[in-house]
Amino acid sequence: MLKLDILVLSVHPDDAELGCSGTILKHIAHGKKVGMVDLTRGELGTRGSAEIRDQEAAASAKILGLAVRENLGLPDGFFENTREYQLKVIAAIRKYQPSIVITNAYHDRHPDHGRANELVETSAFLAGLRKIETSVESALQDAWRPDLVLHFIQDNYIRPDILIDVTDFWDKKIESIRAFGSQFHNPEWEGEPQTYISSPEFINVVAARAMEFGKSIGVKYAEGFTSRKILGVDNLFSLK
Ligand SMILES: [Zn+2]
């Protein structure tokens, strides 16, 4: 069994690259095992197709150095926080037994993001209840509840509860975003309709947000996270 330190559960392939790939890269560089389970294939995206997104997600997984990247194939735009989908997310959490789960922002421009946050938060709790039975390849799974669920910040400004310095990993983060050539500004895709995220300015906005967060802690780039749980640290000097 592959046990992960961090499991990233986000709704669209590319959300995690935008929201938390610097943090992923940093923890992998520190020897942590990180994997991703995307909830949908992003099949409703205006540009490209589900097949192209699959290839882009695989290319980005290589850039990031993920231990695994899977897709649950939930219906983009139409999944709900219901038993049917909770059981799929519970099975994914139990399969990899992560200490930390990272998921989408609790509210955002795209309504899927907030719904994914609720679905993952609910499922992370339920995954710890042993009377809920799930199986993988017909073997019954053990109950597992992650210690912590964090939410990254994507389009809407949300005041973060913690900031992670990702300055050393910024270029690699941009490379992982650029792996989604169909979604972001790319001269090869000029004939396709333009979207909110495909304009050349979009990447500048991602950088501006990270620089604004970075400034708060005296570094160049940072990623922000929120948590429903109150967070603690070993001692005050771990804070900056
Ligand atoms: Zn998204």
pLDDT for 183: 82
Who wins on pLDDT, 158 or 47?
Answer: 158
Q: Cite the beta strand spans of 11-137 per DSSP E.
A: 34-38, 68-71, 100-103, 135-136
pLDDT for 188: 76
**Band (199; pLDDT cuts 50, 70, 90):** confident
Give the DSSP per-residue string, 57-87: HHHHHHHHT-SEEEE----TTT--SSHHHHH
**Mean pLDDT, the chain, integer:** 95
Residue 112 alpha carbon to ligand 1 centre in Å: 7
Residue 50 alpha carbon to ligand 1 centre in Å: 14
Residue 173 alpha carbon to ligand 1 centre in Å: 16
Which of 77-86, 191-200, 216-225 is least confident? 191-200
Mean pLDDT of 119-125: 98
Residue 14 alpha carbon to ligand 1 centre in Å: 7
Q: In the predicted model, is pLDDT for residue 5 greater than 80?
A: yes
**What is the Cα–Cα distance from 192 to 202, expressed in whole angstroms?**
16
Of 132, 95, 145, 102, which is closest to residue 9 (Cα–Cα)? 102
pLDDT for 48: 84
Mean pLDDT of 11-15: 96
Rounded to the nearest angstrom, the gap between the alpha carbon of residue 114 and the centroid of all alpha carbons in its chain is 13
Residue 134 alpha carbon to ligand 1 centre in Å: 27
State what percent of residues in the chain have pLDDT above 90.
85
Residue 98 alpha carbon to ligand 1 centre in Å: 22
Residue 110 alpha carbon to ligand 1 centre in Å: 6
User: Which residue is it, tokens 């994997």?
Assistant: 35
Residue 240 alpha carbon to ligand 1 centre in Å: 31
pLDDT for 185: 76
Residue 1 alpha carbon to ligand 1 centre in Å: 29
Q: In the predicted model, is pLDDT for residue 147 greater than 90?
A: yes
Copy the structure tokens of residue 161.
Answer: 């509860």
Rounded to the nearest angstrom, the gap between the alpha carbon of residue 201 and the centroid of all alpha carbons in its chain is 22
pLDDT for 47: 84
State what percent of residues in the chain have pLDDT above 70.
100
Residue 36 alpha carbon to ligand 1 centre in Å: 14
pTM over 0.75: yes
In 3-state terms, what secondary structure has residue 170? Answer: helix
**Band (113; pLDDT cuts 50, 70, 90):** very high
**Band (192; pLDDT cuts 50, 70, 90):** confident
User: Which residue is it, tokens 């942590």?
Assistant: 32
Residue 111 alpha carbon to ligand 1 centre in Å: 9
**Band (30; pLDDT cuts 50, 70, 90):** very high
Right CATH for 6-231 from 3.40.50.10320, 3.30.460.80, 3.10.20.30, 3.10.105.10: 3.40.50.10320
Residue 49 alpha carbon to ligand 1 centre in Å: 14
pLDDT for 35: 98
pLDDT for 196: 75
